[in-house]
Chain A
Amino acid sequence: MTRYWAANTAFLEGVRALMPMVPGVIPFGLVTGITAVEQGFSGFETLVMTLLFYAGSAQMAALQLLRNDAFALVILLTALVINLRFVMYSAWLAPYLHHLPRRWKWPLAYMLSDQAYALSVIKLTSSKTVGSVHWFYAGAAFSMWLSWQLSVMGGVFLGAGIPASWSLEFAIPLSFLALLVPAIRSRASLAAACVGGTVAVLAMDMPYNLGLLLASFCGICTGLLVERYHTAAEKSLPQEEEQ
């Protein structure tokens, strides 16, 4: 049975889905704002940088490299390599967004984030809802974008007022963890997560965050291999097929 949503309902459902992620976003945004100010950027410069990038890990990496007086081309490549995952998200979302006029498509593409993507995937794979999928995505993406911009600005105003002993940065991996658990739906995705996580830990010392990309690549390949192995095993045992 397929359910169709009204645009309003879908947008608000997207906003509501994003709300539990906000406590994980705020600390990361605050830390980014605080880091930028500590490095001598003005509030205006930080705002423009945050609007242009809209990518937390890339922004943090760029700030760290700027602190080390790195070559501009190295900073550019690092940021883009960290953001390469957006191409995969873009490919996944394309069927739901491509039909929109450019004045909607481009802003929605600009607001693409890990969170908006992950929530849309969970929504679409957990229910057979079709129709206003782009509205659900828009609600999640816009509220994520707003939370991020406001958190970074909060960090700019707070400055270095938050004690490091609160360990608030731990909220970031925790919120990714809360997304990871429902993403593990099969033996193949479990294998992908195990390999991805292990390789990321082992490749921690690789320069420019390349370890993250290598780990993702290894995880994806593992998922495909396990899936292929299982499909082959099922074909050889047609009698034991389960309903």
Chain B
Amino acid sequence: MTEASLWALFLAIGLGTFTLRVSFIQAYGRLRIPPMLNQALTYVPASVLAALVLPAVIYPPAGAEFDLGNGRLLAAAAAALVAWASRSILLTLVVGMGMLWLQQALI
């Protein structure tokens, strides 16, 4: 890919992404949100977040030397428990990473 077409590609992705972000914010009132879509939006966080979390927990990252699938699962389970009990993002991260490192140290 030439330098110019690379910049054109970056610009196109940037403009496209901005269009997606501004869509309803700009067109509010003219672009009506159907009640069905509004109701569906309630389930966006739960669905999307679970779809982002679960594969990352179950599959080890590309190029990982060890199969740490189970280590991540256990660390994520502990983190989920902490998240539920404390509602603290920082505490969730500390416990999750701590559990992963602990298991890596023991392996």
Contacts and interface: CB of A to CB of B under 8 A. Distances in A.
Is this pair of chains taken from one and the same complex? Answer: yes
Interface in B39-63: 39-59, 61, 63
A194 B47 CA distance: 8
A177 B97 contact: no
Contact of A220 (B44, B72, B97): B44
B74 interface: no
Contacts of B39: 224, 227
Nearest to B5: A72
B46 A177 contact: no
Interface stretch (A4-12, A78-86, A152-160): A78-86
Interface in A41-100: 48-49, 51-55, 58, 62, 66, 69, 72, 75-76, 79-80, 83-95, 97-98
B17 A86 contact: yes
A196 B20 contact: no
A48 B9 CA distance: 12
B46 A109 contact: no
B89 interface: yes
Nearest to A59: B13
B46 to A, nearest CB: 4
B43 A223 contact: yes
A194 B90 CA distance: 24
A219 B24 CA distance: 22
A189 B57 CA distance: 20
Interface residues of B, number: 70
Nearest to A184: B46
A215 interface: yes
A85 B48 contact: yes
The prevalent SS among residues of B at the interface is helix
Contacts of B68: 167
Given A121-B45, A178-B93, A223-B43, A201 B58 contact: yes
The prevalent SS among residues of A at the interface is helix
Contact of B92 (A85, A121, A178): A178
How many of chain A's residues touch chain B, expressed as a range? 35 or more
Contacts of B90: 20, 23
A21 B89 CA distance: 7
A199 interface: yes
A109 B25 contact: yes
B43 A188 contact: yes
A188 B9 CA distance: 40
Contacts of A183: 45-46, 49
A54 B42 contact: no
Given A165-B104, A193-B50, A195-B47, A53 B10 contact: yes
Interface in B72-102: 72, 75-76, 79-80, 83-84, 87-90, 92-93, 96-97, 100-101
A98 B25 contact: yes
Contact of A219 (B17, B37, B47, B64): B47
17 contacts: A20-B88, A24-B93, A58-B13, A79-B16, A94-B28, A105-B22, A109-B26, A112-B21, A165-B104, A167-B100, A176-B53, A192-B43, A192-B50, A193-B49, A200-B50, A220-B40, A223-B40
Across the A-B interface, give the 4 residue pairs with the lowest CB-CB distance, nearest first: A219-B47, A52-B14, A223-B43, A197-B54
